[in-house]
Amino acid sequence: MKTNFLIVGQGLAGTLLTHELLKSGKSVQVIDSSTFQKASVVAAGLINPVVFRRLTKSWLVDELFPQLEETYRELELLLGREIFHPLKIRKVFGLGEADFWKKKAVANGLSSYLNAEPDFSHYGQLRMEYGSGWVEKAGRVDLKSLLDGFREYLIENNRLRTMDFEYDRLLVHQDRISYGEQEADRIIFCEGHRASQNPYFQQIQFKHTKGEVFGLETTDYNADFILNKSFFMMPTGGRQFRMGATYDWNNLNEQPTPEARRELCAKLEQVFTGDYKISRHQAGIRPTTHDRRPVMGMSAEHPRIGIFNGLGSKGCMLGPYFARQFVARLNNPASPIHPEVDLRRY
C-alpha cells in the first residue's frame, strides 16, 4: 500500500491535482468523505473572464483560459463525458452603462473576450431598457459530470477510499508518511473549507464565503446564453437553469435560508418577467483566503505535507492552471509557482 501521493478530498481541487499527478506518471491514492458536502457540487460552474464592476480582465485570465479549455477537454476524453460548455454572457446594463462598456472594453484590452458594441435589441421576457453587452468567450463547467466521472474512474482503478480522514492517525516519518496501512511519499490536503481545521496549516488566513444558488425551471424561456445583472442565470439544458449567487462571510454553514431565497428572487424578477419554478435551493461554502488567491505548497515544518486550496469563487478558471503549476513544482523543486498563491506568503 505505497504510493507517491495521498490526496485528501475529491472536490474540484483534489480532482484536478490527482489528474495532473497521474498524467505526470505518479501513483496516487485519494481519500474522500461521503458525509461532508462539496462546494464543487453546489457551484454553478460559471466561467467569466471579465470583472463587470470595473470592466477589467479577471486576474491572469489570458493564462488561465487556454489552460482550462485544454484540461477540461482532456478530462472529457478520459472520462467519456461532456464537461465544458462554451456559452456567451449577456450583461444587462443599468443607466449609462452602455457608454462605460464601450469605453472600457477598448481601454482595458478586452476585445478578445467581449464585443465592445452595446446591443439594444430586445429579448422576450427580459427587461433591458438600457441595453446589454455580450461576453463572447465564457462558459459553464458541468462539475457534477466531472466529479462523478472522475470518482468512477478512481474506483475502477482502485485509487479511491471513501472515509473521513482523521489527522491524529497521520504519522510523519523521515522518508514517508503513513495513514493506517497506506504509505506515501507525500500527502496533499484538498479539503475545501474544512482546511481551516487542519492542524498543519493553521497559519493560513482563510476568509470563507457562504453562497446560495437555485436550480430553476422556466415555462417558456429557453435562452442559450448566460444572463447577468448582479446575478447569473445559466442554461443547463432545455428549460433548466442555475441561478445565483449570494455572498455571506458571517454565517458559515451549509443551510439554505429564506433571506437568500428572497434576495435571489428579487434580483431575478428585476430583469426576468417570465414564469419560473425553483426546483432546487442549495448552499455551500467557498474555500477562500484573506487575499482571495489560491494557496498551495508544502509545509516548511513537514515537507511531506502539502495543501492545494483557496479556489474561492473562481475555482473552475483557477483550478486547472494552478493544479498544473503545483504538479510541475512537486516534480521539480526548481519549477516556479506564482508568488501570490505560494503557501510561503503566510
Ligand X SMILES: Cc1cc2nc3c(=O)[nH]c(=O)nc-3n(C[C@H](O)[C@H](O)[C@H](O)COP(=O)(O)OP(=O)(O)OC[C@H]3O[C@@H](n4cnc5c(N)ncnc54)[C@H](O)[C@@H]3O)c2cc1C
Query: Which positions touch ligand X (CB under 6 A)?
Result: 8-14, 31-33, 36, 38-40, 42-46, 164-165, 190-192, 194, 211-213, 244-245, 284-287, 309, 311-317
| Radius of gyration of the chain from its Cα atoms, rounded to whole angstroms | 21
- Nearest-approach distance from CB 163 to ligand X, in angstroms: 7
Cβ atoms within 10 Å of 53's Cβ, excluding its own: 7
In the bound state with ligand X, the residue whose beta carbon lies nearer, of 198 and 331, is 198
- Nearest-approach distance from CB 233 to ligand X, in angstroms: 12
Of 66, 3, 59, 64, the residue nearest 29 (C-alpha): 3
- Nearest-approach distance from CB 199 to ligand X, in angstroms: 12
- Nearest-approach distance from CB 106 to ligand X, in angstroms: 27
H or E segment and range at residue 323: helix 315-331
Of 263, 265, 281, the residue nearest 273 (C-alpha): 265
In the bound state with ligand X, the residue whose beta carbon lies nearer, of 105 and 296, is 296
Q: What distance in Å separates the CA atoms of residue 42 and residue 207, rounded to the nearest whole number?
A: 19
- Nearest-approach distance from CB 46 to ligand X, in angstroms: 3
The residue number with the shortest CB distance to ligand X is 11
Which cell is 269 given?
A: 424578477
Q: What distance in Å separates the CA atoms of residue 28 and residue 30, rounded to the nearest whole number?
A: 7
Task: Output DSSP code: residue 77.
Answer: H
In the bound state with ligand X, the residue whose beta carbon lies nearer, of 44 and 87, is 44
DSSP H helical ranges for 123-189? 143-156
The residues with which 242 forms a beta bridge, in sequence order, are: 215, 234
- Nearest-approach distance from CB 100 to ligand X, in angstroms: 24
CA-based torsion, 93, 99, 103, 106: positive or negative = positive
- Nearest-approach distance from CB 317 to ligand X, in angstroms: 6
Q: Residue 340: CA atoms inside 13 Å, Cβ hemisphere, count?
A: 10
In the bound state with ligand X, the residue whose beta carbon lies nearer, of 98 and 160, is 160
Q: What distance in Å separates the CA atoms of residue 116 and residue 287, rounded to the nearest whole number?
A: 34
